[in-house]
A and B are shown apart, each in its own frame.
Chain A
Amino acid sequence: MTRAPENRDAFSVLDRPNSYIGKTVPRPNLDRLMQGRGQYVSDIELPRMAHVVFLRSPHAHARITGIDGAAAKRMPGVIAVVTGQEIAAVITPWVGVLSHLKGLKSAPQSAIAVDRVCWQGEAVAAIIATSRAAAEDAAEHVAVAYEELDAVTDMQTALDPTTSVIHPALGDNLAFERNHDAGTVDAAFAASDEVVEAEFIFGRHTGVTLEPRSVVADWNAAEARLTIYQGTQAPHMVQNIAALHLGLQESQVRVVCKDVGGSFGIKVHIYADEMATYALSKLLRRPVKFVADRVESFNTDIHARDHRCKGKIGVKRDGTITAFEIDDLTGIGPYSMYPRTSAIEANQVVNLVGGPYATKNYRARARVVFQNKNVMCQYRAVGHPIACSVTESLVDLAAMKIGMDPVEIRRRNLIADDAYPCASPSGLRFEQLSHHAALAKLIKMMDYDALRAEQATLRARNIHRGIGIASFIEVTNPSAAFYGVGGAKISSQDGVALRLDAQGAVVCQTSITEQGQGSESLTAQIVGSVLGVSMDRVRVILGDTDNTPYGGGTWASRGAGIGGEAALQATKVLRRNILDVAAAILQSTPGELDIINNSVVNVSDGAPRIELSELARIVYFRPDTLPPGIQAELMATRHFVPREYPFAFTNGVQASWLEVDTDTGFVKLLKHWVVEDCGTIINPQLVDEQIRGGVVQGLGAALFEKCVYDERGQLTNANMADYLVPMSGEMPDIDVGHVVSPTLESELGAKGAGEAGTAGAAAAVTNAVNDALRPFRTIVTEIPLTPQIILTALGRI
């Protein structure tokens, strides 16, 4: 349902008095977290709770020929040692495929490996003891005999006929392939004045959440009910899958998700060790806790990226881009991850390349292959950094080739701001984007011309600075098109239930979840604004399948846009219900009344008529005084899902200003700018910090983060000393600006903002490094951009 803005309800949240919308208000959960009263899964202690440690494979690929847990079972504090075969009695294996990703295949994966391990880090046995330390001691005494098998590690040779096939039943190591051909690509290249090609390499990296993955599973045999306390982004998804594989009804599984120390997409998947923990609780009939340690986090939290992508662009001398072509290859580990699958990232790359630009000529191939490395799957800004880096590097290379300024070539090719609605060459539908407005704002914020002048002056003094620009689009507010149509039980709708309590405060239950984004805050802001009560009167409850409406949770930048709209609509109903009762009490009509500042007031003169606390008192304790036939309903529920557009695309542009030390290959980031358009901004500070955090993760990928595997499939830097996360010392100031094009699909008009920063940061940095290296006539196309890579490109080593 699309509404023109002028037809909006008189209650439009955007123009109500005392609205919190568009204001920076502190998060309601700040005090709790700052005073150490947060409740993370690792804080949970239950009676008779045991701790599980997983013994993990030291080999990338091996047959398990024997497991001897006898000595370990005799160790102090040990409750059980459980193998894959034993746990299979209570939990079934799964296959991570979705029907709308045609041809995607994968093999059955078990909670604990049975007979064979397929990556270094896969669990081979569970040791359950009275403490984590006791379980770790015992794990050293479990003897596992392995027979090593050939490990498939290089994605470039994974499809060679001479390479062994990881899952023989699948026939080959190809998990998924997608081909796309739009427009007239060959003719367009033929008609181009210049055609530029390059190969781009993206390192494997991971999310590194501050709090590792953790779960406490508590099977209550008396109730025949499993309670799962877990730091997850999608409680209802976990409920569905745990029930499915443990042979339970969903009503027998409750998932509770209190505070979560960061997710970034890492915690939206179903991991084998978490499934094993649920199963162990059922098997042992007691609560079992699993908290991943840092080493196993590196070895088992999903990895992401790891692409090699060949790209080609055609351009005319006047700057017109004629066509894009890509050939992308990615390796995903031995299994497609469950239930979202590991084909989504490559699929997104195909979807997004060339997305900001007007050309309709686009050809793409993406291949996804199996390897004996840790599983790969969706992490913040799935596919976006790859697509954005490939696209934006190609655009810069084309500009360089024809001698055009990088800003100018973008001005000539970005889809015009008045061309919407329209579709991308890969068929994505855009409702309203603002590439040109965003670029214009960015140029102004960074004072582009002055920077160019400074760059020239410094270059004469042998100081090499570069400017990199990257326009991007971002997928947000996904509808059922993302997963639901493929058969996954992952809800794309969200719900909010509100009720007025007996003192006129509001209890709000929402199905979106909070991992630090500010879901709690934005929900309270919307409810408070639309209802007319102060935020401190709104208590938001989330993360509990027993106590919230059914919904998707928080991922794919959907919390504000989808959960926020559900909150808005539910609040409108509650408000109407309140005004109906108020009218009856006050012998007025609902139309003459409004709620402002916790009181019912006259619309005409704003005079207070009755406080909400008084209204609630009457409704709950003296309903006998209400006129006959009036039954108050001070509870309201609404759900929302986008129907018209499969995704609410957002857009933006980033710029990086940096210096390359051409003697050492070190890059110093000097400044970063982002202009983004997420539609209605509910809380500017939350949006800005989402953007900054996202940028920092993108800068990590650009310069630092990489999971380094050796040729035998051993992850060689699984610790915080050798895996370099971006730290504040190296981060530049990040200025954030906004253009606002609300989506008309919802009354709120909010799109997502969670992944925009990550989408374009690496592309901006790579372009800036190449801009700095211009006098040396060399380019780099591999991230992370290490000093080693830059020195090599410069021919210094």
Chain B
Amino acid sequence: MKSQITNRMATVLISVCAGLMALIMIALVGYIFYQGLGHVTWHFLTTVASTFQVGGGIKDQLWNSFYLLIVTMIFTTPLGIAGGIYLSEYAKPNRVTGFIRSCVEVLASLPSIVVGLFGMLVFVNTFHWGYSILSGAVALTIFNLPVIVRVTEDALRSVPVALKEASFGLGVGQWYTIKNVLLPAAFPGILTGIILSAGRVFGESAALLFTAGLTSPDLDFKNWSPFAFDSPLNPLRSAETLSVHIYSVNTVAIVKDAPQVAAASAAVLALFVLIFNLSARGLGAWIQKRMSGKS
């Protein structure tokens, strides 16, 4: 009897917590959308920001956010997956491996402002990369790499040992087994992790304040040479991203419509992060279904 009551109480408590979480999230996102979406127009998305006139948009910031995200993912995905494969399949369970794993964990939990300041000292000043996409992307890499390593390692470890045995039992070598059995089986998990981390990178601001910078040149979307100073592709130009823009509009902007610009930018940012999260779930499930059918 007693255990039944405890059981019921625990269930109620857990449901309340879960409900509360959902409520907070819905309230938060709802509020952001309510405040901001009204100002999000095509004009807003396709006009450059303005520091002294009403009616500025977020065209360059939006581009910068995506460009930085892509460059960061190009750096982190291969490295992170390779690291995860190493830790789960090759590393011997000894002190060195334990140490590497602790490093990854510490790196993953570093406050992003610390990463940002480190980036400023090393990449911006010492390497003379200045406030740039490159500095920003490398700082974000420091901050994102451990996440992908962890995600990959966990996904590989959760592949049933029986599959590995089946493959080795056929005389299949380790690399071929990883490539053809383990990675495909772990792929949905890895992909979900990567997309979720992309959402985090997309919304990151503290690590970028002092690395990618608070300004960007007026981008010339007709000049795609990566060497031109105002080219969208130039990796050595400064690049204010959407979330940094929200920060700077809220703190230093003097335009009259600053609150609206900030609210609308926040809504756009939240929208994209939400899309990343939802697509991560959907895509993971879809691929799992597809892969078990074919391949």
**B partners with A:** no
Tell me the A residues contacting B by CB distance below 8 Å: none
Point out residues on B near A: beta carbons under 8 Å: none
